[in-house]
């Protein structure tokens, strides 16, 4: 499923959440490379690493299609020079203004990283911007299909992470895979995927993956169901209280048959049951047939009200 | 109208069997899609989901606020919002839709299409016959014979006294129905781009704007009683999506100590004032699971009239639990208003679950599935016991952690 995600099956906000234990930059670059190979224009808003470092390892024809907005050199506009991208400009309009450099076809916006932006702008403003970008861009005539954002999960409180995840269309959480997975030295990682499908479906999945040279993705299958840490395994060591009993708790088949053969003292035949459930015949019954003089109006039995 | 009003008091509700003849020309009942409550005389409208109406004591009183705590992915809360709006479309009420995320026009486009009675009855019958045939194919269930003359329990609490409509979620409402009604939109990004920032009454500007928009409509369209409506009286249904989420510019989600801790409560306070003096009812969905500060949720609950929480099973371990296999989530009724009385209409059971079938969304009583086989493995029985314990919080005092000696 991660493969489909990289291949562009999902539009909207795609969040890649990594941590110090497992970096997500290479996965982000995989998304970039895949988008560029599809011929989309890719706008990278980089704040964390310089342009050369971001482009390292990518194919030359991929880098040719990258439109890098450099927020690394002077993010806070201290030098006063033009060019580059200040963090202040990260708003719906500001981002849409940068799109003019690209072609009019479908475009991908890459944020490297969202964590850095969140450190410099208030949370509501950032989230509103994320929602606005496709809309403002559409008004200006640009088509933004997806926003891929890298988020360092261990830098933010869990409440904030939950909130960002609720905004995203797809969330990929990367973490190191257990050692048994994967073959020689391709650094397998585990991805927990959360995907909103349509308006009424949510998919969750775990997958192992690794990233090959040139930033192509290779999935290594899913973790087995039983591989999850089994909590029930522990109490087995506790002594079984049913072990040394002086009586029999379990029945053999023969014993069970014998037990079922015994008629229970309160077991009735169908006949007796129905006779008990029906009214006894000896009891009186009231039959009532209304006659002509009967007054059908209950509320006014003597007809003295003017209704 | 008389039939509607008297239909409310059925013996199963626990009320008496006396039936009061409703006056034929009730002044209040003149508005389409409303009926006076049998218990407290307030004018009620349907929430669009007959089973929810029943849980809430007959319906939503005009002038009150229904708060829905969203489920984790906002799927079912959005559905309830749409039901509420769709009921307004069918009854010809005016609508006001506010959102910060989706365009209100898109929300309205996705309203479920109404199932009119004949069609629905036909479907119900079909369902019933399939169930019956299923029953007949199996051998009759052995139950203690004394119980076999007891009346059958109704699964869905609706049926008896309904005045709402049923909707088919797989289809969207037709455009003809839609054209006859009047609706107003409030889409936050649009409003912000129209005017510069204003901040008044220490409230976040998006809330101020929303209040102003609602107030404008209530005054200008004559929903307040002080300025009598010239034409036929009508109800304004207000639906607000994901209020308090970060897209409204509020930071109560995500942080423990938000800057504007009172913004949402102030908004609700003013909104309630507006609702009380007008012919309107409001439904608000709030992402309560994202609000970190529980004091805010308490305040918000106190400021709304009816509070219903949704808890979907998607992604939780309950999804695979055999106890919940028929349901898609639980519904918790947190608060029901006390209108004209000291007590509220509490429904008989607290364990309610909802399920979304292919077409219908229903709220039902949560039933434990029968434990049919003799050889249920020990572990699964343990699970069931644990989850039933979780289910009824009254049993919370029972010791947990008994692994083998659970008999």
Q: Residue B360's domain is classified under what CATH number?
A: 3.40.50.300
Strands B60-61 and B43-45: antiparallel
Looking at chain A, which residue has its C-alpha nearest residue B103? A135
Q: ipTM higher than 0.90?
A: no
Q: Which tokens in the block code for residue B73?
A: 């992915």
Residues B158, B48 contacting (CB under 8 angstroms):
no
B98 falls in which pLDDT band (50, 70, 90)?
Answer: very high
Calculate the average pLDDT of chain B: 76
Of A128, A232, A240, nearest to B247 by CB-CB distance is A128
**pLDDT tens digits, B318-355:** 777 777 888 889 999 999 988 888 877 776 677 888 98
CA A292 from chain centre, in angstroms, equals 73
B228 falls in which pLDDT band (50, 70, 90)?
Answer: low
Interface touch A159/B253, C-beta < 8 Å: yes
Q: C-alpha angle A178/A183/A189, rounded to 5°?
A: 40
Asked if residue B173 has pLDDT above 80, the reply is yes
Cβ within 8 Å of residue B174, ≥6 positions away:
B113
Beta bridge mates, A206: A192
Of A127, A232, A238, nearest to B246 by CB-CB distance is A127
A167, B14, B16, B242, B290 from B260: Cα distances, Å? 21, 46, 50, 17, 16
Asked if residue B44 has pLDDT above 60, the reply is yes
Looking at chain B, which residue has its C-alpha nearest residue A234? B403
Interface touch A159/B255, C-beta < 8 Å: yes
Query: Which residue in this structure is represented by tokens 């049913």?
Result: A242
Beta bridge mates, B172: B112
Q: Which tokens in the block code for residue B393?
A: 């919080």
Q: Using a CB-CB distance cutoff of 8 angstroms, which residues of chain A are in contact with residue B101?
A: 131
Strands B361-365 and B280-286: unpaired
Beta bridge mates, B280: B236
A contact residues 287-306, partner B, Cβ 8 Å cutoff: 299
Query: Which residue in this structure is represented by tokens 């970039």?
Result: A32
Given CA atoms B155, B159, B164, B170 in this order, what sign does their dihedral have? positive
**pLDDT tens digits, B265-290:** 999 999 999 999 888 999 999 999 99
Candidate from A15-19, B109-113, B221-225, B227-231 with smallest mean pLDDT: B227-231
**pLDDT tens digits, A70-105:** 888 888 888 877 777 888 888 888 888 888 777 777
Q: Using a CB-CB distance cutoff of 8 angstroms, which residues of chain B are in contact with residue A252?
A: none
Beta bridge mates, B95: B183, B237
Element holding B306 (H helix, E strand): strand B306-312
**What percentage of residues in chain A have a pLDDT greater than 70?**
89
Specify if B135 maps to a domain: no
Nearest alpha-carbon partner for B382 in B359, B361, B405, B357:
B405
Q: What distance in Å separates residue B148's CA from the closest CA in chain A?
A: 9
Interface touch B254/A160, C-beta < 8 Å: yes
Spell out where A19-169 has E strands: 41-46, 66-70, 106-112, 143-152
Q: What is the pLDDT of residue A27?
A: 92
DSSP A263: P
Interface test with B, best of A163, A256, A264 (most B CBs within 10 A): A163
Based on the structure, what is the number of domains in chain B?
A: 1
Asked if residue B99 has pLDDT above 70, the reply is yes
Specify if B267 maps to a domain: yes
Q: Using a CB-CB distance cutoff of 8 angstroms, which residues of chain B are in contact with residue A124?
A: 246-251
Highest mean pLDDT among A117-121, A225-229, B358-362: A117-121
Interface test with A, best of B145, B194, B380 (most A CBs within 10 A): B145
Of B100, B290, B315, nearest to A166 by CB-CB distance is B290
Asked if residue A185 has pLDDT above 90, the reply is no
Q: What is the pLDDT of residue B3?
A: 38
CA A36 from chain centre, in angstroms, equals 26
Class of domain A2-73+83-226: alpha beta
Asked if residue B295 has pLDDT above 60, the reply is yes
Q: Using a CB-CB distance cutoff of 8 angstroms, which residues of chain A are in contact with residue B72?
A: 166
Asked if residue B109 has pLDDT above 60, the reply is yes
Domain of residue B247: give its range: 2-120+154-370
DSSP B198: -
CA A220 from chain centre, in angstroms, equals 21
Q: Which tokens in the block code for residue B78?
A: 């959005």
CA A176 from chain centre, in angstroms, equals 19
Residue A132 forms contact with B (CB below 8 Å): yes
Query: Which residue in this structure is represented by tokens 């933010």?
Result: A156
R_g over Cα of chain A: 35
Spell out where chain A has E strands: 12-18, 41-46, 66-70, 106-112, 143-152, 170-176, 189-197, 201-212, 216-219
Residues A161, A27 contacting (CB under 8 angstroms):
no
Residues B306, B66 contacting (CB under 8 angstroms):
yes
Nearest alpha-carbon partner for A108 in A97, A120, A99, A117:
A99
Specify if B384 maps to a domain: no
**pLDDT tens digits, A126-146:** 998 999 888 888 888 888 899
Interface touch B110/A199, C-beta < 8 Å: yes
Residues B259 and B104: their CA atoms lie apart, in Å, by 28
Task: Tell me whether residue A263 is exposed, middle or buried, using C-beta atoms within 10 angstroms of its C-beta: 0 to 12, 13 to 18, 19 or more.
Answer: exposed
Query: Which residue in this structure is represented by tokens 């309950």?
Result: B318
Q: Using a CB-CB distance cutoff of 8 angstroms, which residues of chain A are in contact with residue B407?
A: none
Helix then strand then coil, in percent of chain B rounded to 5, is 35, 20, 45
Higher pLDDT, A172 or A265: A172
Specify if B385 maps to a domain: no
Q: What is the pLDDT of residue B8?
A: 38
Query: Which residue in this structure is represented by tokens 């499908």?
Result: A197
Nearest alpha-carbon partner for A211 in A3, A55, A1:
A3
Q: What is the pLDDT of residue B2?
A: 37
Q: C-alpha angle B22/B25/B26, rounded to 5°?
A: 65
A contact residues 171-210, partner B, Cβ 8 Å cutoff: 194, 196, 199-200, 202, 204
Calculate the average pLDDT of chain A: 82
Looking at chain A, which residue has its C-alpha nearest residue B313? A202
Asked if residue A287 has pLDDT above 60, the reply is yes
| Long-range contact pairs involving B153-158 (C-beta distance under 8 Å, separation at least 24) | B153/B365, B154/B12, B155/B364, B155/B365, B155/B367, B156/B51, B156/B362, B156/B363, B156/B364, B156/B365, B157/B51, B157/B54, B157/B55, B157/B347, B157/B348, B157/B349, B157/B363, B157/B364, B157/B365, B158/B50, B158/B51, B158/B53, B158/B54, B158/B362
**What percentage of residues in chain B have a pLDDT greater than 90?**
24
Looking at chain B, which residue has its C-alpha nearest residue A170? B73
The torsion of the CA quartet A128, A133, A134, A138, rounded to 10 degrees, works out to 120
Cis amide prior to A113 (ω within 30 degrees): yes
DSSP A15: E
Interface touch B251/A124, C-beta < 8 Å: yes
Asked if residue B159 has pLDDT above 50, the reply is no
Query: Which residue in this structure is represented by tokens 């930059």?
Result: A25
Residue B377 forms contact with A (CB below 8 Å): no
């Amino acid at each position: 499923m991660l493969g489909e995600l990289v291949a562009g099956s999902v539009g909207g906000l795609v969040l890649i959440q990594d941590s110090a234990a497992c970096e997500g930059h290479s996965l982000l670059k995989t998304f970039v490379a895949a988008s560029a190979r599809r011929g989309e224009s890719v706008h990278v808003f980089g704040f964390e690493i310089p342009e050369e470092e971001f482009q390292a390892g990518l194919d030359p024809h991929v880098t040719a299609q990258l439109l890098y907005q450099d927020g690394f050199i002077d993010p806070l506009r201290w030098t006063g020079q033009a060019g580059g991208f200040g963090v202040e400009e990260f708003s719906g309009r500001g981002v849409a203004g940068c799109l003019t450099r690209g072609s009019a076809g479908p475009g991908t916006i890459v944020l490297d990283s969202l964590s850095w932006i969140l450190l410099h702008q208030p949370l509501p403003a950032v989230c509103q911007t994320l929602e606005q970008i496709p809309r403002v861009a559409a008004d200006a005539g640009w088509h933004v299909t997806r926003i891929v954002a890298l988020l360092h999960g261990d830098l933010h409180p869990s409440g904030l992470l939950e909130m960002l995840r609720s905004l995203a269309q797809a969330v990929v959480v990367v973490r190191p895979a257990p050692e048994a997975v994967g073959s020689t030295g391709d650094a397998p990682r585990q991805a927990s995927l959360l995907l909103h499908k349509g308006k009424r479906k949510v998919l969750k999945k775990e997958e192992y993956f690794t990233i090959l040279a040139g930033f192509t993705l290779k999935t290594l299958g899913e973790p087995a169901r039983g591989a999850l840490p089994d909590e029930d395994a522990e109490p087995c060591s506790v002594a079984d209280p049913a072990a040394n009993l002086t009586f029999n708790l379990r029945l053999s088949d023969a014993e069970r048959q014998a037990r079922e053969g015994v008629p229970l003292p309160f077991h009735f035949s169908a006949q007796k049951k129905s006779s008990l459930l029906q009214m006894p015949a000896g009891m009186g019954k009231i039959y009532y047939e209304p006659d002509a003089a009967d007054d059908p109006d209950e509320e006014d039995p003597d007809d003295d009200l003017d209704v | 109208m008389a039939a509607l009003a008297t239909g409310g008091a059925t013996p199963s509700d626990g009320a008496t069997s006396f039936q009061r003849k409703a006056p034929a020309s009730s002044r209040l009942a003149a508005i389409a899609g409303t009926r006076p409550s049998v218990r407290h005389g307030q004018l009620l409208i349907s929430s669009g989901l007959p089973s929810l109406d029943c849980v809430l004591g007959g319906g939503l009183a005009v002038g009150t606020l229904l708060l829905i705590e969203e489920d984790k992915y906002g799927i079912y809360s959005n559905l309830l919002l749409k039901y509420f709006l769709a009921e307004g479309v069918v009854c010809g009420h005016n609508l006001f839709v506010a959102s910060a995320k989706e365009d209100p026009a898109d929300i309205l486009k996705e309203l479920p299409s109404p199932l009119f009675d004949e069609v629905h009855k036909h479907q119900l019958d079909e369902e019933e016959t399939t169930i019956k045939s299923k029953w007949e194919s199996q051998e009759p269930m052995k139950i203690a014979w004394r119980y076999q003359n007891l009346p059958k329990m109704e699964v869905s609490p609706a049926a008896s006294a309904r005045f709402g409509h049923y909707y088919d979620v797989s289809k969207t409402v037709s455009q003809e129905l839609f054209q006859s009604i009047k609706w107003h939109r409030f889409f936050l990004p649009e409003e912000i781009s129209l005017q510069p920032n204003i901040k008044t009454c220490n409230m976040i500007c998006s809330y101020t704007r929303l209040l102003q928009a609602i107030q404008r409509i209530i005054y200008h369209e004559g929903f307040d009683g002080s300025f009598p409506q010239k034409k036929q009286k009508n109800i304004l249904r207000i639906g607000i999506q994901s209020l308090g989420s970060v897209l409204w510019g509020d930071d109560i989600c995500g942080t423990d100590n938000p800057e504007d801790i009172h913004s949402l409560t102030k908004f609700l306070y003013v909104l309630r004032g507006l609702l009380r003096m007008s012919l309107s009812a409001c439904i608000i969905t709030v992402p309560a699971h994202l609000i970190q500060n529980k004091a805010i949720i308490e305040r918000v609950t106190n400021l709304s009239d009816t509070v219903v929480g949704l808890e979907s099973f998607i992604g939780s371990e309950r999804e695979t639990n055999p106890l919940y296999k028929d349901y898609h989530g639980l519904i918790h009724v947190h608060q029901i208003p006390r209108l004209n009385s000291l007590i509220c209409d509490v429904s008989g059971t607290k364990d309610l679950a909802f399920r979304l079938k292919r077409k219908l969304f229903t709220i039902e009583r949560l039933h434990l599935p029968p434990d049919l086989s003799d050889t249920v493995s020990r572990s699964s029985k343990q699970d069931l016991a644990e989850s039933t314990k979780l289910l009824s919080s009254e049993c919370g005092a029972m010791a947990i952690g008994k692994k083998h000696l659970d008999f």
